[in-house]
Amino acid sequence: MSTLKDILYKVPIDAVTGNTSVAVNVICFDSRNVSLNDVFVAIKGTEADGHAYIKGAIEKGAVAIICEEMPSDIVNGVTYVQVTDTHAALAVMAANYYGNPSADLRMVGITGTNGKTTIATLLYQLFRKAGYKVGLISTVKILVDKEEYKATHTTPDPLTINYYLDLMTRAGVEYCFMEVSSHGIAQKRTEGLQFAGGVFTNLSHDHLDYHHTFAEYRDVKKSFFDHLPKTAFALTNIDDKNGIVMIQNTVAKKITYALKSYANYRAKILENQFNGLLLKIGENEVWVKLIGRFNAYNMLAIYATAELLGLEELEILRLLSELESVKGRFQYFISERKVTVIVDYSHTPDSLKNVLETINSIRTGNEELITVVGCGGDRDKTKRPVMAAIASELSTRAIFTSDNPRSEDPEAIIRDMEKGVEPLNFKKTLAITDRRQAIKAACQMAEENDIILIAGKGHETYQEIKGVRKDFDDFRIAGEMMKELHK
Ligand SMILES: CC(=O)N[C@H]1[C@@H](OP(=O)(O)OP(=O)(O)OC[C@H]2O[C@@H](n3ccc(=O)[nH]c3=O)[C@H](O)[C@@H]2O)O[C@H](CO)[C@@H](O)[C@@H]1O[C@H](C)C(=O)N[C@@H](C)C(=O)N[C@H](CCC(=O)O)C(=O)O
Ligand SMILES: Nc1ncnc2c1ncn2[C@@H]1O[C@H](COP(=O)(O)OP(=O)(O)OP(=O)(O)O)[C@@H](O)[C@H]1O
Ligand SMILES: N[C@H](CCC[C@H](N)C(=O)O)C(=O)O
Ligand SMILES: [Mg+2]
């Protein structure tokens, strides 16, 4: 057992009541999980205020409380520590508790609206192929070298992060690539971690329910770079209009990448085809298996990161050409009837537009492009009409359906989407609330050479309706439907 004093190392403390030499068992931020001798951290969240559960935590055995406001009724024998920010305190405490594993790894955090999972996962693949032991913390899964664990968040809470980083150091992992979401930064989930580098992909419309304004969303992302140490690199996409802003105030080494602007790392698209991209990176040409302009950015960010971490140029190029696309990111199959079915995790206006433009740029003739898309419930509602407008404009047919409605009425979400459709495009659209039926309808409509895009859920293997998660897998269901139709 560690002492409270050890766990609080480097946490700025405002006031203490009681003894900080007390031995504590584990750190908890949810009173429902507290047991004997634990320390409870009271957090002001979006739904509840952890300060309201201090009493309950003590009744369950907590011997120490970390809070922003001292409670009026102090319990004898319990240590109370007042701090200004319990989110930040939790992050530093979690790192201390696990012996600061991030200091023993070379960690790179990837942030931005789109491309985080792709870049982090492919960096994991690339460094594995280069012969290293690698870790990954991502939306799709957590990997400790070859060992796979389930991911519940894009950026988990600090106790979970440090738990896995500790497993990584024990397994001899040298590099760790992690996604850093805007919720993660805002809730300080990554404070207390030592990064060797940070990567910015791009910034576009998402999460405006949580961050209120685009400026607030941008500033949250920027604060990740503001906190990087001098020893780290801050790699940014300066073709994005917020690329420079991100690194404005960082003390880390500023490095840029771009396809259009002058930058430290530059690439050019020589060919963009259905089976891959031919890129010119610096003076060298390389074929990669991923497609679309956005993936040229992802590839360049991966190339630059690998070089900044010390891999050799030609080795990186060789490994880039071997990388395989990530589950649910432009994952496709061609049915017996020669219909191409693409499953993609585009759940923001920008990513949906990119993926549809990519498909349109490689369409060869008059084949139909049928898009099946929905929008998540209990999330940014302003995305809905914009995504529907994009889907109906850039497809020959759009079927609006449910994504994860969560607590919302699925039909009301579809009505929100339909408000964005231009009158001229309306006749191209159809609403089918049940996602399975929507996929089935697309499969029935499609004829030889047509393309179906099923957007929004990518790798997800569930659908959440009224708080209940049921098995659901776009890729599998589309495959089954296509087989069924050809019996
Ligand atoms: C909106 C949001 O981000 N919520 C996250 C946040 O919860 P919260 O602090 O707001 O929770 P709360 O319910 O208000 O409770 C406040 C505090 O009281 C405590 N409590 C509550 C009840 C009780 O009886 N006892 C008790 O102690 C809670 O444990 C909590 O510490 O902190 C929790 C612990 O870290 C997260 O699990 C939780 O993620 C929820 C489930 C979630 O859905 N988050 C999504 C939006 C998210 O984080 N997404 C991003 C990706 C976004 C992207 O695509 O970029 C991610 O990184 O995954
Ligand atoms: N660099 C990029 N720019 C724009 N769109 C992209 C880029 N990379 C991927 N996309 C699109 O965004 C979708 C999601 O990609 P990815 O999962 O890599 O993003 P993410 O940032 O991890 O998303 P999340 O916030 O959900 O974790 C992809 O399916 C693709 O359509
Ligand atoms: N990380 C994203 C995932 C969205 C995926 C989409 N399928 C949905 O459920 O809305 C978010 O939390 O907004
Ligand atoms: Mg992700």
Interval 44-93: pLDDT, tens: 999 999 999 999 999 999 999 999 999 999 999 999 999 999 999 999 99
Q: Based on the domain organization, do 237 and 273 belong to the same domain?
A: yes
In angstroms, what is the span from residue 470 Cα to ligand 2's centroid? Answer: 24
Percent of the chain with pLDDT over 70: 100
Q: Is residue 215 part of a domain?
A: yes
**Among the atoms of ligand 3, which is closest to the Cα of residue 458?**
7
Report the C-alpha gap between 316 and 339 in whole angstroms.
35
Bind-site residues for ATP: 112-118
148, 44: one domain: no
68 & 126 share domain:
no
What is the value of ipTM here, to two decimals?
0.97
pLDDT band with cut points at 50, 70 and 90 for residue 426: very high
325 in a structural domain? no
CATH code at position 12:
3.40.1390.10
Tell me, yes or no, whether 67 lies in a domain. yes
Q: How much distance in Å is there from the Cα of 292 to the middle of ligand 4?
A: 18
Ligand 1 pocket, residue 406 CB under 6 Å:
no
For residue 273, the model assigns a pLDDT of: 86
Protein residue with least CA distance to atom 17, ligand 2 = 117
CA of 428 to the centre of ligand 3 (A): 26
pLDDT band at residue 420, thresholds of 50, 70 and 90?
A: very high
Residues 249 and 220 in one domain: yes
Ligand at shortest distance from the CA of 161:
1
* Claim to verify: residue 341 and residue 213 sit in the same structural domain: no
C-beta 305 within 6 A of ligand 1: no
Specify the CATH number for the domain of residue 474. 3.90.190.20
Count: domains in the chain: 3
Angle between helices 313-320 and 116-129 (to 10 degrees): 110
The string of pLDDT tens digits covering residues 99-139 is 999 999 999 999 999 999 999 999 999 999 999 999 999 99
Instruction: Give the Cα separation of 124 and 130 in Å (integer).
Output: 10
Rounded percentage of the chain residues whose pLDDT exceeds 90: 93
Question: What is the rounded distance in angstroms from the CA atom of residue 431 to the CA atom of residue 478?
Answer: 18
Q: Which residues are annotated as a binding site?
A: 31, 112-118, 154-155, 181, 187, 189, 379, 403-406, 456, 460
The last residue of one of the domains, among 292, 320, 348, is 320
Assign 175 a pLDDT band (cuts: 50, 70, 90): very high
Residue 152: give its domain's CATH number. 3.40.1190.10
- Is residue 157 lining ligand 1, measured as CB closer than 6 Å? yes
Question: What does the pLDDT read at residue 269?
Answer: 96
pLDDT interval class at 8 (50, 70, 90): very high
Do both 426 and 290 map to the same domain? Answer: no
Question: Under 8 Å CB-to-CB from 238, ≥6 apart: which residues?
Answer: 244, 256, 257, 258, 261, 263
Instruction: Looking at the CA of residue 40, tell me the nearest atom of ligand 1.
Output: 27
340 inside domain: yes
Torsion (CA) 269, 272, 275, 277 in degrees, nearest 10 = 0
Last residue of a domain, one of 262, 289, 320: 320
| One domain for residues 261 and 336 | no
Torsion angle defined by CA atoms of residues 362, 368, 370 and 371, in that order, rounded to the nearest 10 degrees: 30
Nearest CA to ligand 1 atom 42: 153
Residue 299 sits in the same domain as residue 345: no
Instruction: State the CB neighbour count (10 A cutoff) for residue 307.
Output: 18
- Assigned token pair, 60: 């369950």
| pLDDT at site 169 | 98
Q: How many CB atoms lie within 10 A of CB 115?
A: 24
Q: Which domain covers residue 108, as residue numbers?
A: 98-320
Is residue 28 assigned to a domain?
yes
Burial (CB < 10 A; 0-12, 13-18, 19+), residue 287, is middle
Residues with CB under 5 A from ligand 4 (ion): 116-117, 139, 154, 179
Pocket test for ligand 2, best of 295, 345, 394 (most atoms within 8 A of CB): 345
Query: Does some domain include residue 92?
Result: no
Do 408 and 478 fall into the same domain?
Answer: yes
Q: Is residue 326 part of a domain?
A: no
Model confidence pLDDT, tens digit, residues 184-218 = 999 999 999 999 999 999 999 888 888 889 898 89
**DSSP symbols for 431-467:** E-SSHHHHHHHHHHH--TT-EEEEES-TT--EEEETT
Least confident of 173-177, 288-292, 302-306: 288-292
Each residue's pLDDT tens digit, 291-349: 889 999 999 999 999 999 999 999 999 999 999 999 999 999 999 999 999 999 999 99
Q: Is residue 93 part of a domain?
A: no
Please tell me the predicted confidence (pLDDT) of residue 365: 78
Structure tokens at 417: 């989407």
Judge if 16 and 160 occupy the same domain.
Answer: no
Tell me which amino acid residue 393 is: E
Instruction: Compute, in angstroms, the gap from residue 81 CA to the centroid of ligand 4.
Output: 35
Q: What is the pLDDT of residue 410?
A: 98
Question: Counting every residue, how long is the chain?
Answer: 487
Question: Per residue in 209-266, pLDDT tens?
Answer: 888 898 988 999 999 999 999 999 999 999 999 999 999 999 999 999 999 999 999 9
- For position 193, what pLDDT does the model report? 98
290 and 314 assigned to the same domain: yes
What is the distance in A from the centroid of ligand 3 to the CA of 141? Answer: 15
Nearest ligand 2 atom to alpha carbon 352: 31
Ligand 1 within 6 A of 153 CB? Answer: yes
Other CB atoms within a 10 A radius of the CB of residue 394 amount to 19
212 and 185 share one domain: yes
Task: Compute the distance from residue 187 Cα to the ligand 1 centre, in Å.
Answer: 9
Among 270, 291, 320, where does a domain finish?
Answer: 320
Q: Rounded CA gap, 164 and 138, in Å?
A: 12
